[in-house]
Amino acid sequence: MKLRKKESRSNSYTAQYVEECYKTHLHKVVRFAYTYLGDANASYDVASEVFTILWERRDSLDFSEDIVPFLMTITKHRSLNRLKRLRVRNSYEKGIYNSNKAALEMNYRSLSFVGSMDIFSKEVEQIIYDSLEEMPESVKNTFIMSRFRELKYHEIAKIEGVSIKAIEKRISTALKILRISLKEYLP
């Protein structure tokens, strides 16, 4: 049997999509993994696994669709795998990971509890915009600076002329409001 793969013309476009996707979303994937793993190296390892999968499946993916929930789903599974391995290792290498043991347990349980990754979908944006109106003015401004301008808390504190603690308090308030309006997207 003879067999030769014919590269289709569309393949070079798909490769570009994947590269663009990598550039746009790598930091998000790394942040996701880091939140649960608390280890920068491991987070980059997970991210490279995630984008390897994206690369290999590029022909069957629809890049016009919202790709972030898809990326985050893979990231979740990959991160969970690592957490599971760390837990097993922790159980017989007593003492080595003690300082992180509580965090590891919490993060493992927390991530296992997470289902859908739709919280990362574009449709959530609109709900967030609507929720802004429910927030007190100062909370709203602080949240916008943090969420959309990606300013650090100390930067916002400087602009607002209040303490970092006060900014953290405002962000907490904003998150509590969002937790209610986004409850369908949360565990």
CB 40 within 8 A of CB 34: yes
Q: Is position 8 an interface residue for other proteins (rule: CB under 8 A)? A: yes
CB 6 within 8 A of CB 19: no
Q: Is position 99 an interface residue for other proteins (rule: CB under 8 A)? A: yes
Q: Is 71 exposed, middle or buried (0-12, 13-18, 19+ CB in 10 A)?
A: buried
Q: Is position 56 an interface residue for other proteins (rule: CB under 8 A)? A: yes
# of chain residues touching other proteins (CB under 8 A): 60
Q: Is position 187 an interface residue for other proteins (rule: CB under 8 A)? A: yes
CB 79 within 8 A of CB 32: yes
Other beta carbons within 10 angstroms of residue 178's beta carbon come to 22
Q: Is position 113 an interface residue for other proteins (rule: CB under 8 A)? A: yes
Q: Is position 163 an interface residue for other proteins (rule: CB under 8 A)? A: no
Where in 61-90 is the site for other proteins (CB under 8 A)?
61-62
For other proteins, the binding residue among 19, 93, 123, 184 (CB under 8 A) is 19
DSSP string across 170-186: HHHHHHHHHHHHTGGG-
Q: Is position 150 an interface residue for other proteins (rule: CB under 8 A)? A: yes
For other proteins, the binding residue among 120, 135, 140, 170 (CB under 8 A) is 120
CA–CA separation, 57 and 152 (whole Å): 36
Give me Rg for the CA atoms of the chain. Answer: 20
Q: Is position 28 an interface residue for other proteins (rule: CB under 8 A)? A: yes
The structure tokens listed for 134 are 């429910």
CA–CA separation, 187 and 184 (whole Å): 8
Chain residues binding other proteins by CB under 8 A are 1-6, 8, 10-11, 15, 19, 22-24, 26-28, 31-32, 35, 44, 48, 51-52, 55-56, 59-62, 99, 102-103, 105-107, 109-111, 113-114, 119-120, 124, 128, 146-147, 150, 153, 168, 171-172, 175-176, 178-179, 182-183, 186-187
